[in-house]
Structure 1
Amino acid sequence: MDAPIRVGVIGVGTMGGHHAGNLGYGQVSGATLQAVMDLDGELRAAVARRHGVDLQFDQTRDIIGHPEVDALLVAAPDGLHAKLAIECLEAGKPVFLEKPLATTVPDAERVVELETGIGHRMIQVGFMREFDRAHVEVKAEVDTGHHGRRLLFRNVHRNAHHPDARTIEDVVTNSMVHDIHSARWMMEDEIVEVYGQAVPDAGQDPGTAQLCLLQVRFRNGALGLLEFNTKAGYGYEVDVEISCEDGVITSHTVGTPVVRTRETLRQAIAPEYTGRFGTAYQDELVAWAASLEAEKPTGPSAWDGYMAMVVVEACIESVKTGQPISIPEFEIPSLYR
């Protein structure tokens, strides 16, 4: 395909707007922003005007079915992801789907069943840490084999602020799903047991979580510790560490200068996620566009999204019951091997 892939973006709020910007400002080689869809007419028009886009829609079926749209990027609310992914597949159009794949395991399973029935991968899920240099470099070092077996995975994921109390379901499904996928990807193994605990938001219902801690056990016996803080107060930070038989490999993602002045030592930290993962968001779309051009799928698959949701639901159950939850082993469909 000599011409760039014409992408339609469904949902142009915070995340969708960021993706639309990367496409519209020419940051994604091999792809261009062709159309936008959002129920918010003013927002939709503003994004279209900013990027010189003529095709605007307020119905998903219209943008999915439009003959001048080659592929879709879905950044709609989480609860619509599975439904929209299915509509894209049924229309025969590849889709970049923001995480999570779905908000329930049965919905995620329906997406996987449809894609496996088609016989080739059409979905890339937006687990952008696979394209983040810090994560990639840690994994590459571990993959050399020089440090022996992977023994422990640690992940910290801290937001600066959040205006409202968040439920444990929202925290794990929307945010910690990233950490869960990172654990599976970087440890190259499946999670078979989880134990979750949460600290409720101050003065809020016990069903909320300001901080959530997940302990996981992998199939090969390795362990994991995943921490998420909804409002740590100081900035946005995501780091990872893998302890091996012979060495510990740790990411350091704060690349700003260290300032020593007036009896203080300080270093600036990104205020929010687009600052921390801006390059990764761009690179995942570049890889997606290249995979469509080459007809060779890449990146996180629908199966990755499905397995992440299996672990998500087990974690939520564990937090609510106060008990460890075992996760059965699943046979990976041949499409995803």
Structure 2
Amino acid sequence: MSLAVGVIGAGVMGSEHARILREATPGAHLSGVCDADVARARQAAGGVWVTTDALELIRSDRTDAVVIAAPDITHASLVLACIEQGKPVLCEKPLATTAAEARGVVEAEIKASRRLVQVGYMRRFDPAYAEMKRLKDEGAIGSPLILHNVHRNPVVPTWFAGPMSVTNAFVHEIDASRWLLGSEMVSAHVRSLGAGDPLLITMETDRGEVVSTEVFMNCGYGYHVHAELVGQKGTLQTITPRLVTENLSGFSRGTYPDNWIPRFRNAYIAQLDQWVKSIRSQLPGEGASAWDGYLTTKIADEIVAAMANGVDAKLVPEAVPALYR
């Protein structure tokens, strides 16, 4: 029987999740869409049930599982409602806006004695990142020494300010770095250039690896995410996905998208497909768990606090609860 999935939020990301569920997710179908804007919800729904009440969608018999792509501030409460109903949930990052809220989600899931939550850190499903991890795990470059990350966006709106470069963008690098290396972060140093954009963030892991990340939210030229892993015997680096290269008038030219959807479209499809399969098999999936979501938010919170005080962040790893081992 096809899994009925409801989507909460019909903005850019919610609409993309709804499209993938309608068109490219075997074993599941879009059963409903919730958004405060009814017209926007109907456009994303493609003819299925629409509501403006998120709790109605979560509690409805029409939904077996839920995707949350609503504003960040709503994530924790909506995920808790899904846990209360015993429904699997894929929540867009971040899991919560504070570490305390994210820890509350973890505690609720532990109390339920069942892993119901996956957090939408989609780079784990990107073909380039997945291949980098496979080769690293096979020992292709020896022991990892340095991970270089680049996270550039062409331009962000005026409301995207303050700590959001860390809490809304750099969180992807926190999760991807932990996942790629299999290590925990123990310290972070942030250098702010210009008026706070770009940032250069350097972290050290519990294995002595160094993770350097450039976060540039207004680079001007396009959406550009890149990673290179340096090992004792060589390096691994992602290649920017591109359909063609233009060779014209003595120049060779490639292009960058203006947002993250084209760059990670295949990752989002693979993420939803794997999530559906994990629900149907009743086995933990390959995506980020609630514990991963909590640690990522906690590290981001600690880095922001350290930046405000002009000091380095000291990050203390925590013991992993039994449910997530």
Q: TM-score, normalised by structure 1?
A: 0.93
1:8 maps to a residue whose letter is G
- Rounded to whole Å, the distance in 1 between the matches of 2:43 and 2:127 is 32
- Rounded to whole Å, the distance in 2 between the matches of 1:41 and 1:151 is 50
Residue 216 (structure 1) aligns with: 203
Instruction: After TM superposition, give the deviation of residue 200 of structure 1 in Å.
Output: 4.9
| C-alpha RMSD of the superposition | 1.4
Correspondence 1:133-172 to 2 at 5 A: 133-164=127-158, 166-172=160-166
Instruction: After TM superposition, give the deviation of residue 170 of structure 1 in Å.
Output: 1.4
CA-to-aligned-CA distance 1:19-49 (integer Å, 9 cap, x gap): 0111122x1111100011111122122223x
- Rounded to whole Å, the distance in 1 between the matches of 2:276 and 2:190 is 37
Does residue 1:315 correspond to 2:303, yes or no?
Answer: yes
1:149 maps to a residue whose letter is S
Does the CA-based 8 Å contact 1:160-1:271 persist in structure 2?
Answer: yes
SS at match of 1:117: helix
- Rounded to whole Å, the distance in 1 between the matches of 2:163 and 2:79 is 22
Does the CA-based 8 Å contact 2:38-2:50 persist in structure 1?
Answer: no
- Rounded to whole Å, the distance in 1 between the matches of 2:197 and 2:243 is 27
Correspondence 1:151-230 to 2 at 5 A: 151-164=145-158, 166-201=160-195, 209-230=196-217
2:231 maps to a residue whose letter is C
Does the CA-based 8 Å contact 2:13-2:69 persist in structure 1?
Answer: yes
Residue 295 (structure 1) aligns with: 282
Number of residues of Structure 1 aligned to a counterpart in Structure 2: 324
Instruction: After TM superposition, give the deviation of residue 171 of structure 1 in Å.
Output: 1.5
Residue 248 (structure 1) aligns with: 235
Residue 65 (structure 1) aligns with: 59
Residue 22 (structure 1) aligns with: 20
Correspondence 1:265-276 to 2 at 5 A: 265-276=252-263
Query: Which of 124, 143, 163 is the equivalent residue of 1:130?
Result: 124
SS at match of 2:41: helix
Percent identity of paired positions between Structure 1 and Structure 2? 34
Does the CA-based 8 Å contact 1:177-1:312 persist in structure 2?
Answer: yes
- Rounded to whole Å, the distance in 1 between the matches of 2:184 and 2:260 is 27
SS at match of 2:288: coil
For the structure 1 residues 67 and 165, does the alpha-carbon distance in structure 2 shift closer, same or farther, using more than 3 Å as the test? closer
- Rounded to whole Å, the distance in 2 between the matches of 1:183 and 1:6 is 33
1:44 maps to a residue whose letter is A
Residue 206 (structure 1) aligns with: none
SS at match of 1:162: coil
Does the CA-based 8 Å contact 1:20-1:33 persist in structure 2?
Answer: yes
Does residue 1:79 correspond to 2:66, yes or no?
Answer: no
- Consecutive unaligned residues of structure 1, counting only runs of 5 or more, are 202-208
1:295 maps to a residue whose letter is Q
Residue 273 (structure 2) aligns with: 286
1:34 maps to a residue whose letter is S
Query: Which of 4, 7, 19 is the equivalent residue of 2:5?
Result: 7
- Rounded to whole Å, the distance in 2 between the matches of 1:254 and 1:37 is 32
- Rounded to whole Å, the distance in 1 between the matches of 2:296 and 2:266 is 23
CA-to-aligned-CA distance 1:79-130 (integer Å, 9 cap, x gap): 1111110011011111010001111010000000010111121011100000
- Rounded to whole Å, the distance in 1 between the matches of 2:281 and 2:170 is 32
Does the CA-based 8 Å contact 1:256-1:269 persist in structure 2?
Answer: no
